């Protein structure tokens, strides 16, 4: 499991700033006139923040915990899924970190990234007054270990993330619908889900991760999709 | 007759009826004491609460999704609709998050004006809480007094922002207007009179024997439980945990002001009530300091007309009237947010219901709901 989680993360620093030549197999071939550039991957920019908490984490977990850049100086780490609960428990219990307060737990959807989902934990230390953001990357329908064992307060936040993104939290005591109606289909905060409209529109608009309302004329629809693609 | 009685205990069909067993009771969603469309399924053993299950989501409007389809600026007013009794504070949270990711420095004067409006809004929110909470527990007269003072604050908002309830108070980067002419004296007059009004509420409630009996030792949540459940705001501080975002992670120049964070000891309904009452007094102090020390300068920092934050994420929290209100925003470098998540304090505080109500009486459930101070617009988003 750890190998699987590692591989998609390793090319990340390499393809950070020069995003365009990220097709290594035929790098030498003369670049053909580039058809649409395609959707851009979501990678946070900025600088990686190092502080006492991240160094304590690095000491304990080594390479399994990676710093993530932030545009506004917030300490952020990316954790391998297998070690998530260990990392969270360590952060809570270790006297150097003492992150006893789970401020927020949520998720985000990046349809063009290799691993489409991120679960985001915002931790805070009531005693030391420092904060840390912990992230874990997931594939679609890949379960995430529940944080309710570390903080009981994660209960409803995980249920909400389950409603909105369909992320399954393994070991959650009661992963029921919380904000949506019980018979609701789909996960509304996924990018392919339209703001309004019905399921059919959702399926037709399910390209490049961005919902669009397409006209019935195919030619016109294609044109709109092309525009959409260049816009991103 | 005696034969009948023995018969009853063994085989009579009435036996099932007379046996003690758990009852499920639906409280809400249309119930005056739930402060909106909140439904609690209460399991009862006699009058004792055995378990409680919250059913929410009736007011879910998909605000987070909606925001993804507007530009960063256009998305601002929708967040007023989360906690519609503390709209200014919601607005502050969102614009603060965008300012953080943009790296915009808000001018000192704008920060002070924000502090004044934020604290007025906090008082207004606490006043309406006080009135409705009193109503729940049976003290009807407080509502009339509380709403009278809240009205004065609403008038101040109307004079300054043009709107009473959902004023869309701040643009990204600062504030729209300076105080209008004649506004500050009216505000000062209100501040001078207000502590006396708070004394009046306290005369009605703090030592009132009925109020004390209905609230003391009711809905207790210990400090450890409160932290583990991620409670925040007066609901957390009532248990004696000193966590106020204004002190812990100062924003908008809160470090300039001298104020105390009121703390409770027992974590019951009464202590949460006292925390909020004292908080109103502290808010008055903060506003007075902000008005006295109001710096000169610009009203708005340098923000372009079209906002395109760098690709990345930011998390910004403010101390709203209900607790820690956080905005997690993700930008993909476009003019629209990629994701906006709201850490809604009411939603997370409501998790404490089970801990607070278990083992108590059914009549106390209403007092506990009131003491958490939920606004369903924020719970359901």
pLDDT bucket at A8, cuts 50 / 70 / 90: very low
**pTM of the complete model:** 0.81
Q: Which residues of A touch B334 (CB under 8 A)?
A: 232
Residues B51-380: name the CATH superfamily: Cytochrome-c3 Hydrogenase, chain B (1.10.645.10)
CB distance A88 to A80 below 8 Å:
no
Q: What is the DSSP string of A102-161?
A: EEEEEEEE-TTSSS-EEEEEEEE-TTT--EEEEEEEE-TT--EE-STTT-TTHHHHHHHH
Q: Report the DSSP pairing between strands A47-48 and A131-138.
A: unpaired
Cis bond upstream, residue A21 (ω within 30): no
Tally Cβ neighbours within 10 Å of residue A73.
12
Is the pLDDT higher at A69 or at B11? A69
Long-range contacts of B207-214 (CB under 8 A, 24+ apart): B208/B139, B210/B138, B210/B139, B211/B137, B211/B139, B212/B270, B214/B137, B214/B138, B214/B269, B214/B364, B214/B367
What is the spatial distance between Cα B247 and Cα A217, in angstroms, rounded to a whole number? 59
A127 has a pLDDT exceeding 90: no
Q: Report the DSSP pairing between strands A69-70 and A101-109.
A: unpaired
> Per the CB < 8 Å rule, is A195 touching B66?
yes
Q: Dig out the tokens for A9 from the structure.
A: 């993360």
A9 has a pLDDT exceeding 90: no
Identify the pLDDT of residue B46: 81
Task: Determine the 3-state secondary structure of B148 from DSSP.
Answer: helix
Of residues A183, A71, A194, A178, the one with CA closest to residue A133: A71
> Per the CB < 8 Å rule, is A103 touching B230?
yes
A76 contacts chain B (CB < 8 A)? yes
pLDDT bucket at A207, cuts 50 / 70 / 90: very low
Task: Determine the 3-state secondary structure of B44 from DSSP.
Answer: strand
* B344-367 burial: b if 16+ Cβ within 10 Å, else e: bbbbbbbbbbbbbbeebebebbbb
Q: Dig out the tokens for B185 from the structure.
A: 């004296």
What is the spatial distance between Cα A183 and Cα A178, in angstroms, rounded to a whole number? 12
Average pLDDT over residues A67-77: 89
* Percent of chain B scoring above 70 in pLDDT: 95
* Percent of chain B scoring above 90 in pLDDT: 41
Q: Which residues of A touch B261 (CB under 8 A)?
A: none
B350 has a pLDDT exceeding 80: yes
Residues ≥6 apart with Cβ < 8 Å to A81 = A1, A5, A136, A137, A138, A142, A144, A145
Average pLDDT over residues B91-100: 92
Sheet architecture: strand order including B339-343? B312-319, B324-331, B339-343
Is the pLDDT higher at A17 or at B142? B142
pLDDT bucket at A7, cuts 50 / 70 / 90: very low
CB distance B310 to B101 below 8 Å:
yes
Q: Which residues of B touch A193 (CB under 8 A)?
A: 65
> Per the CB < 8 Å rule, is B339 touching A45?
no
Q: Which residues of B touch A71 (CB under 8 A)?
A: 101, 103, 309-312, 314
CB-hemisphere CA count at 13 Å for B207?
Answer: 3
- What is the tens place of the pLDDT at every residue in A89-117? 998 888 888 888 999 999 998 888 888 89
Mutating which of A41, A67, A101 best tests the B interface, going by the most B Cβ atoms within 10 A?
A101
What is the spatial distance between Cα B125 and Cα A183, in angstroms, rounded to a whole number? 35
Taking CA–CA distances from A40, the nearest residue in chain B reads B332
Q: Which residues of A touch B339 (CB under 8 A)?
A: 108-109, 189
- What is the tens place of the pLDDT at every residue in A137-167? 998 888 899 989 889 989 999 999 998 998 9
Mutating which of B106, B255, B339 best tests the A interface, going by the most A Cβ atoms within 10 A?
B339
> Per the CB < 8 Å rule, is A179 touching B312?
no
Q: Write down the domain spans for chain A.
A: 40-189, 192-232
CB distance B350 to B298 below 8 Å:
no
The residue count of chain A comes to 232
Q: Which residues of A touch B343 (CB under 8 A)?
A: 103-104, 106, 122
Q: Write down the domain spans for chain B.
A: 51-380
Determine whether domain A40-189 maps to CATH 3.30.460.80: yes
Q: How far is A102 from chain B (nearest CA, A)?
A: 6
Q: B185 to each of B52, B99, B181, B297, how far by Cα in Å?
A: 49, 31, 9, 21
A212 contacts chain B (CB < 8 A)? no
Which of A76-80, B13-17, B269-273 shows the lowest mean pLDDT across its residues?
Answer: B13-17
* H-run or E-run covering B342: strand B339-343
């Amino acid at each position: 499991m750890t190998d699987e989680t590692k591989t998609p993360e390793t090319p990340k620093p390499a393809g950070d700033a020069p995003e365009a030549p990220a097709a290594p197999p035929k790098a030498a071939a003369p670049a053909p006139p580039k058809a649409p550039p395609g959707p851009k991957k979501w990678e946070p920019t900025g600088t990686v923040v190092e502080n006492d908490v991240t160094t304590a984490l690095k000491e304990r977990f080594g390479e399994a915990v990676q710093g993530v850049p932030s545009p506004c100086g917030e300490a952020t780490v990316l954790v391998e899924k297998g070690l998530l609960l260990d990392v969270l428990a360590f952060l809570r219990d270790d006297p150097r970190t003492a992150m006893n307060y789970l401020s927020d737990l949520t998720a985000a959807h990046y349809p063009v990234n290799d691993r489409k989902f991120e679960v985001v934990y915002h931790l805070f230390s009531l005693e030391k007054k420092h904060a840390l953001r912990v992230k874990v990357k997931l594939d679609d329908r890949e379960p995430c270990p529940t944080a309710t064992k570390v903080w009981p307060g994660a209960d409803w936040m995980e249920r909400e993330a389950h409603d909105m993104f369909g992320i399954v939290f393994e070991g959650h005591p009661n992963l029921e619908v919380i904000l949506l109606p019980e018979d609701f289909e789909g996960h509304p905060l996924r990018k392919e889900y339209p703001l309004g409209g019905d399921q059919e529109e959702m399926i037709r608009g399910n390209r490049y991760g961005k919902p669009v309302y397409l006209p019935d004329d195919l030619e016109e629809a294609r044109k709109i999709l092309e525009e959409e693609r260049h816009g991103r | 007759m005696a034969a009948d009685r023995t018969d009853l205990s063994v085989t009579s069909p009435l036996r099932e009826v007379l046996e003690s067993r758990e009852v499920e009771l639906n409280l809400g969603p249309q119930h005056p004491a739930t402060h909106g469309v909140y439904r609690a399924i209460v399991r009862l053993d006699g009058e004792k609460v055995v378990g409680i299950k919250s059913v929410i989501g009736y007011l879910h409007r998909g605000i987070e999704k909606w925001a993804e389809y507007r530009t960063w600026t256009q998305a601002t007013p929708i967040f007023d609709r989360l906690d519609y009794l503390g709209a200014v504070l919601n607005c502050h949270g969102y614009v603060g998050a965008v300012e953080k990711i943009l790296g915009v420095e808000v001018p000192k004067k704008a920060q002070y004006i924000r502090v004044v409006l934020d604290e007025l809004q906090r008082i207004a929110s606490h006043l309406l809480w006080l009135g409705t909470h009193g109503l729940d527990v049976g003290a009807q007269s407080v509502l009339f007094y509380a709403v009278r003072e809240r009205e004065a604050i609403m008038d101040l908002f109307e004079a300054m922002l043009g709107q009473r309830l959902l004023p869309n108070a701040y643009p990204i980067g600062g504030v729209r207007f300076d105080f209008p002419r004649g506004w500050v004296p009216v505000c000062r007059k209100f501040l001078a009179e207000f502590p006396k009004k708070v004394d009046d509420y306290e005369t009605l409630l703090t030592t009132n024997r009925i109020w004390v009996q209905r609230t003391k030792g009711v809905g207790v949540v210990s400090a450890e439980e409160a932290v583990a459940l991620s409670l925040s705001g007066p609901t957390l501080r009532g248990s004696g945990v000193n966590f106020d975002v204004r002190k812990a992670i100062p924003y908008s120049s809160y470090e300039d002001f001298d104020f105390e964070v009121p703390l409770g000891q027992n974590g019951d309904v009464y202590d949460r009530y006292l925390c909020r009452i004292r908080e109103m007094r502290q808010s008055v102090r903060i506003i007075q300091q902000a008005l006295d020390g109001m710096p000169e300068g610009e009203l708005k920092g340098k923000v372009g007309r079209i906002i395109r934050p760098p690709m990345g994420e930011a998390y910004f929290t403010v101390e709203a009237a209900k607790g820690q209100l956080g905005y997690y925003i993700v930008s993909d470098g476009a003019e629209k947010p990629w994701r906006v998540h709201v850490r809604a304090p009411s939603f997370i505080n409501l998790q404490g219901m089970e801990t607070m109500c278990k083992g108590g009486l059914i009549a106390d459930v209403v007092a506990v709901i009131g003491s958490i101070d939920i606004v369903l617009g924020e719970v359901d988003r």
